[in-house]
Amino acid sequence: MPILSELLQPLPRARLPDGDSALSVAAIHYDSRQVTPGSLFVAIAGFKVDGASFVPDAVSRGAVAVVAETEVPLPDGVALVTVPDAREALAWLSAAFYGHPSRNLRVIGITGTDGKTTTSYLAGSVLQAGGLKYGRLGTVDVEVAGRTEVNLSRQTTPEAPEIQALLREMVDAGCTHAVIESTSHGLALHRLTGIEYDVAVLTNITTDHLDFHGTQEEYVAAKRRLFELLDAPTTKPAQRYAVLNADDPISPVFVRHFGAPAVTYGLREPADLRAEAVRLSADGSQFRLEATKAPSGKPLSPGRGVEVREGVEVHSHLPAEFNVYNCLAAAGVGLAEGIDLEPIARGLGSLKGVPGRMERIDEGQPFTVVVDYAHTGDSVAKALRVLRPLTEGRLIIVFGCAGERDRSRRTGVGGAAAELADYVVLTSEDPRTEDPDAIIEEIAGVLRAKGRVEGVDFERHEDRRQAIIAAFRKARAGDTVLLAGKGHEQSMIYGAEKRPWDDRQVAREELARITAKPR
Ligand SMILES: Nc1ncnc2c1ncn2[C@@H]1O[C@H](COP(=O)(O)OP(=O)(O)OP(=O)(O)O)[C@@H](O)[C@H]1O
Ligand SMILES: [Mg+2]
């Protein structure tokens, strides 16, 4: 079992009273209900409650040491470690507890507003096609060497002990690479602190999550942190890379914040990796992937040496131009890892889809049903624009907006639906402690302001199943119904309660009812 004083080594500012340094630690917990005898309890301040108030509970369950930001009274025999930042301490202690697994992996972090999950899947596919064994963790699920577990936590980035345990599992399973969806929340809350990153990928940055980060500047700063980590001390000798979207105006700003070489990708601006002759269709896209190679044949020495361009044809199952960007980002990861263009193209082409992302539900009904996770104005607009040319009839959208999340989404998503859909069914999406009808009324106000009329252009059903039924009743042959916002999610949050929910399953059930009866 690890010794407390050894675990504290990465935390020079931690203070441990004399005499307790030989204490061994059986487990690390931040939730007092999980504490088992011999554990180290880290009292982290939550958004609602101060973690220190759970110390007595942790001690009664057998905690032998407590890490806190303030002096807390403890019985004899329980060690107190005080630290300036308990979250940061939790991350470093977890990394040390699991033997710093990220030092034995090439760690690829993917950040950005949209496309992180999709790009993580694509990157995994590319690594696999390159003959590399990888683990991946993100919003939808966790994959360790080919075994997948659904992520039920509703948190894209789990807390540091879970992440470090997963990285350890990856190392033990023989993985050489880890792909981590690295959200700005996760970065800002030190969930990813203590991880040695090798490749940092940016998809794009638009305005979202301002409920948490306050301002656009802070949001950008939180995303940038992943790139700053490329300059952090490392025990690994191999070259680190940034993979940046050349078409996103934020990229030049990012480049100034780290020293690692950047692999750039894009469709419009000059870039190391480009998609040429892009052909989009209902069931995917085709393009020529062109990459700059240095004379050595090794990819990447951006801006240096004689440039040779090589190309390969890519057939992706993922529809929409934004997925071409995601493919390019994943190809950037492949180049950074020294994978040739042929296997990169094969990897990109082998991904059939990402659960809950533009996922078609087909029970033999005469119209198209698509479940998509888009829940921001930007991504809903993109989803509707993708579906429009693929739809002969009308485009019907079912959506709501989450409670206790960025309120500007209600204007954004409402505005996108008002402008780009033919018919709208308003419903709930995780109201949390907010009044679901009040959220719906707020979105209805956005629709009315855009000239849409209730009863003609839109209707509302607080109950999401009823909303889905209403949309299916409305749909005729050739129409498309987009169920937006929930994607792969397995629950709906009312108050503090998580009720089981799956858009795809409900859609299948209701479609089966329709197709069973003559319409
Ligand atoms: N590169 C992109 N640019 C813009 N929109 C995208 C991009 N990729 C995906 N999207 C849209 O965003 C939705 C979410 O995609 P994905 O799950 O890959 O993103 P994410 O960044 O992981 O999202 P989250 O922050 O919710 O975890 C997709 O269903 C699609 O509508
Ligand atoms: Mg995600």
pLDDT digits (tens, 9 = 90+) for 229-287: 898 889 899 999 999 999 998 888 778 788 888 999 999 998 999 999 999 887 789 99
How much is the CA Rg of the chain, to the nearest whole Å? Answer: 24
- Average pLDDT in the 35-60 region? 86
Give pLDDT, residue 259.
86
Angle of CA points 273, 274, 279, to nearest 5°? 145
User: Which strands make up the sheet holding 359-360, listed edge to edge?
Assistant: 359-360, 368-372, 480-484, 395-399, 423-426, 458-460
Cα–Cα distance measured from residue 122 to residue 140, given in angstroms and rounded to the nearest whole number:
14
Distances (CA, A) of 213 to 47, 164, 183, 218, 367: 13, 25, 12, 6, 40
Residues 414/443, Cβ–Cβ less than 8 Å: yes
For residue 255, what pLDDT is reported? 80
Please name which of 63, 22, 24 lies closest in space to residue 42, comparing C-alpha atoms: 63
Terminus-to-terminus CA distance in the chain, angstroms?
Answer: 66
Helix (H) or strand (E) holding 150: strand 147-150
Taking the C-alpha atoms of residue 284 and residue 282, their distance in angstroms, rounded to an integer, is: 6
- Average pLDDT across the chain, whole number: 90
- Residue whose tokens read 């090589």: 310
Distance CA 339, CA 421 (A): 42
pLDDT at residue 146, rounded to an integer: 80
Rounded distance between C-alpha atoms, residue 361 and residue 357, angstroms: 11
Find out whether the beta carbon of 409 lies less than 6 Å from any atom of ligand 1.
no
Grade residue 86 by pLDDT with cuts at 50, 70 and 90.
very high
Q: Which helix (H) or strand (E) holds 28?
A: strand 27-29
- Written as six digits, the tokens of 63 are 């905690």
Residues at Cβ < 5 Å from ligand 2 ion? 116-117, 139
Report the distance separating Cα 149 and Cα 135, nearest Å: 11
On the question of pLDDT at 140 being above 80, the answer is: no
Highest mean pLDDT among 159-163, 385-389, 417-421: 417-421
Tokens standing for residue 502: 């799956």
Pocket test for ligand 1, best of 373, 384, 405 (most atoms within 8 A of CB): 373
374 lines ligand 1 (CB under 6 A): yes
Cβ of residue 100 lying under 6 Å from some atom of ligand 1 = no
Cα 141 to ligand 2 centroid, rounded to whole Å: 10
> Does residue 344 sit in helix, strand or coil?
helix
Alpha-carbon span 50 to 367, nearest angstrom: 51
d(C-alpha 369, C-alpha 483), whole Å? 8
Q: How many residues does the chain have?
A: 519
Report how far residue 138's alpha carbon sits from residue 135's, in angstroms, rounded to the nearest whole number: 10
Which of 510, 469, 500, 504 has its CA nearest to residue 484? 504
114 CA closest ligand 1 atom index: 21
Mean pLDDT across 112-132? 95
